[in-house]
Amino acid sequence: MASVSVEAVRKRYGALEVIHGIDIQIPDGEFVVLVGPSGCGKSTLLRMIAGLEEISGGVIRIGDKVVNEVPSKDRDIAMVFQNYALYPHMTVRENMGFSLKLRKAERGVIAERVKKASQILGLDPYLERYPKQLSGGQRQRVAMGRAIVRNPQVFLFDEPLSNLDAKLRVQMRTEIKALHQQLKTTSIYVTHDQIEAMTMADRIVVMHDGIVEQIGSPLELYERPNNLFVAGFIGSPAINLIKGTLRRDGGRNWVATEAGIDLPLNGNASGQDGQPVVYGIRPEHLVPADNGGLPVTVSVVEPTGASTFVYADLSGAQICGVFAEHPGVNPGSRMTMMPRLDRVHLFDAGSGQRLAG
Amino acid sequence: MSPRKAFDEARLMLVGLLILIWTLIPIYHLFVMSITPQAEAFAGAVWPKTPTLDNYTTVLTQGHYFLGHFWLQLFNSAMVAVAVAVLTLVIGTCASFAISRLRVRIGETVSNLALLTYLIPAAFLAIPMYATMGQYGLLGSRWSLILTMVTFASPYAIWMLRQYADKLPYELDEAARIDGASPIQIFWLIYLPLMMPSMVAIGTYALLLAWNEYLYAFLLLSSDTEITLAVALGHFLSTDDAPWNLLMATGIIYALPPAAIYYAFRRYMVAGLTAGAVKS
Ligand SMILES: Nc1ncnc2c1ncn2[C@@H]1O[C@H](COP(=O)(O)OP(=O)(O)OP(=O)(O)O)[C@@H](O)[C@H]1O
Ligand SMILES: [Mg+2]
């Protein structure tokens, strides 16, 4: 096992730069998830760590060793691909043993390691099958098996679950997490699904257009997003973001929207009177209120059983509230939602950065 | 099925049937002539009065002036065809591997140039090819024909194999690289096994191309012991009273191996012609 360190790494394709200097320190044994919208450079970064793409600038270290010029096969990493990349002409057993065979491991050692991996992953009944005779979930497991037989320093995953159906995805994500707890191998996992990121990661790296927006534990990102992008990306349903102007008057702070609604704020909010801001409140931090709060007109009610999503119109702005108890409203009804003041996020409208406090 | 659709289908069937008959008539004549005794050769009957296999016996026992080296010439044809197929496959797989998997820089250019060679009809190159073989002292040797046919088959082989190779997911190579495979190991352990179906198709193509070649075989080979059967068949026509029925019997025998090969590999051939032979 080893730490991985990415220092000021850049990637250019010809004149086009797609990664603009990224720094990430990953301690030994950590499970890090790279998350971000499509095209933000997650795969490119992962592939640079894997040695499948050249590094245009900066340094990547695995352990203490700079690997910029080290070929993939000597980096002691294993990778799980989105389409699994199983060798179609080899059985599950041969697929899993291939890397050891190339490394001239002894037959007995290969057999033993494959057996151990197949037991961990529940692949014993399928060892003699070919990939095309397996279901998607089983193929996914074989791809994992191929990675773990080698006992590498680092696991790299590039959207390994995105070809599975929703139910299997949830199951596999738990399995991968459990596997990591068992093996404790440093892992870097790419996904564009923020739920996957939140549930699996020790730490999340949120990427956007070739830069890192924020690095932190799932809770840190959820509770203190550094900027509008992270706030909007993390959390489901997405955070409500409402534009307005910060008002301070004596000890009282609030945000005035263009439509003339006053959004309540804590007494200790920072920022200057008159500053254009974006007011952020997560749907689950709105509570139905009898008086005070935000007057809204309900447009859609979605009971999910565990909670109820209420989509509503706040003088032209669409907002969403998630309530544990069904608030007993119908489309067209009017209600008031009260933000929990300690959960309000305030961002500068110009820079999108979080306002301290 | 609606009447309209049935009508369309019937029309297509009719066209297909006509084409089939049109194609089969010469083959039918070939066959009928080959079982007709010499005496009846030009009776023009739809079916001979006394069908016989004597012509075949004569051919197989080399019992005629024109057939003195029948077996050797058949062997020459086979040897040339097999050599052409093997060499073409070696060149085609190596080139397609370099272009599609190693992604060498000039790969795209090579691949396009390969196709460009087909703008010049092969017949136009006869004289230059003859001169070249002369310079290397290969005229009259079977190797001159082999090298020529490889030259003509390779561009197509490179182009086609490259198309198939591009269909193999590149992640397989990347996975193998991470697993510790060198390019040579990727070639032998991943690429060749997965390319096998398309290689069968392209190999068969090259084999049949060489087997059926007449022009270049006639041009480059001369002695009775070096020529292929196709050229020997041509020699029949050098006299006025050509033994037609023997010619036809030899022709049938000559056509059997390609038919057998085609039949054996038809699955790959169809896949080869329609592309997409390789499943990821
Ligand atoms: N070979 C290439 N040549 C030029 N640009 C490329 C190349 N490969 C990737 N890119 C660009 O680099 C950017 C990052 O691509 P990358 O595949 O890393 O995105 P991603 O974050 O993995 O997206 P996704 O979630 O869709 O997989 C994209 O804008 C893409 O267009
Ligand atoms: Mg990607």
| pLDDT tens, residue by residue, A287-306 | 998 777 899 999 999 999 88
d(CA A11, ligand 1 centre) in Å: 10
How many other C-beta atoms lie within 10 A of the C-beta of residue B26? 9
Residue A15 pLDDT > 50: yes
The answer to the question of residue B58 being in a domain is no
Q: Is residue B152 part of a domain?
A: yes
- Locate the chain B residue with the closest alpha carbon to A146: B179
Residue B164 tokens read as: 């198939």
Give the model's pLDDT for residue A218: 97
Q: How far is the CA of A38 from the centre of ligand 2 (A)?
A: 7
Asked if residue A208 has its Cβ within 6 Å of ligand 1, the reply is no
pLDDT of res. B272: 55
Cβ A38 under 6 angstroms from ligand 1: yes
Query: A202 near A218, Cβ under 8 Å?
Result: no
Is position B57 within any domain?
no
If asked whether residues B161 and B28 sit together in one domain, one would say no
Ligand 1, residue A41: give the atom nearest the CA.
18
**Same domain, yes or no: B146 and B28:** no
CA angle A104, A106, A109 (to 5 degrees): 120
What pTM value is reported for the model? 0.85
* Partners of residue A215 on adjacent β-strands: A205
Task: List the CATH number of the domain containing B266.
Answer: 1.10.3720.10
> Is B232 within the bounds of a domain?
yes
Do B69 and B16 share a structural domain? no
pLDDT for residue B241 is more than 80: no
Integer Cα distance of B235 and B252 in angstroms: 16
Q: Please list, in sequence order, all residues whose beta carbon lies within 8 angstroms of the beta carbon of residue A122, skipping any fewer than 6 positions away.
A: A141
B23 and B115 co-located in one domain: no
Per-residue burial over B138-175, b if 16 or more Cβ lie within 10 Å, else e, is bbbbbebbbbbbbbbbbbbbbbbbbbbbeebbebbbbb
Q: Is the CB of A70 under 6 A from ligand 1?
A: no
Which of B42, B46, B15 minimizes the C-alpha distance to B28? B46
Give the whole-angstrom CA distance, residue A173 versus residue A188.
14
* Amino acid B43: pLDDT: 66
**What's the domain range around B239?**
65-279
Q: Coil, strand, or helix at residue B55?
A: helix
pLDDT confidence of A160, banded at 50, 70, 90? very high
Q: How far is the CA of A44 from the centre of ligand 1 (A)?
A: 6
B274 occurs within a structural domain:
yes
How many angstroms from the chain centroid is the CA of residue A127? 33
Pick the residue from chain B with its C-alpha nearest to A76: B178
* pLDDT for the residue A95: 96
Best of A54, A74, A101, A162 to mutate (most B CBs within 10 Å, chain B): A101
What percentage of chain A reaches a pLDDT higher than 70?
100
A73-90: per-residue pLDDT in tens? 999 999 999 999 999 999
Cβ of A81 closer than 6 Å to ligand 1, yes or no, is no
Residue B280 pLDDT greater than 70, yes or no: no
Whether B48 and B70 map to the same domain: the answer is no
pLDDT of residue B116: 86
B172 with B242, same domain: the answer is: yes
DSSP secondary structure string for all residues of A62-74? ETTEE-TTS-GGG
Number of structural domains (chain B) is 2
Interchain contact, B174 vs A85, CB within 8 Å: yes
User: In the predicted model, is pLDDT for residue B275 greater than 80?
Assistant: no
B112, B29: one domain: no
Q: Is B171 found in the same domain as B122?
A: yes
Question: What whole-number distance in Å separates Cα of residue A117 and Cα of residue B158?
Answer: 41
> Is B59 among the domain residues?
no
Determine if ligand 1 sits within 6 Å of the CB of residue A210: no
What is the ipTM, given to two decimal places? 0.87
Same domain for B12 and B130?
Answer: no
Confidence of residue B122 (pLDDT cuts 50, 70, 90): confident
Whether residue B85 is found in the same domain as residue B36:
no
Residue B60 lies inside a defined structural domain of this protein: no
Per-residue pLDDT, averaged over B136-143, amounts to: 92
For residue B114, the model assigns a pLDDT of 84
Given this model, what pLDDT does residue B279 score? 37
- Give the percent of chain A with pLDDT over 90: 85
CB-nearest partner of A89 from B181, B185, B193: B193
Q: Is residue B211 part of a domain?
A: yes
Lowest mean pLDDT among A200-209, B35-44, B70-79: B35-44
Ligand 1 centre and the CA of A37: distance in Å? 11
Residues A156 and B182: their CA atoms lie apart, in Å, by 20
Q: Whose CA is nearest to atom 8 of ligand 1?
A: A44
Residues B76, B104 share a domain: yes
Strand order in the sheet with A77-80: A77-80, A154-158, A186-191, A31-35, A203-208, A211-216
For residues B48 and B177, state if they share a domain: no
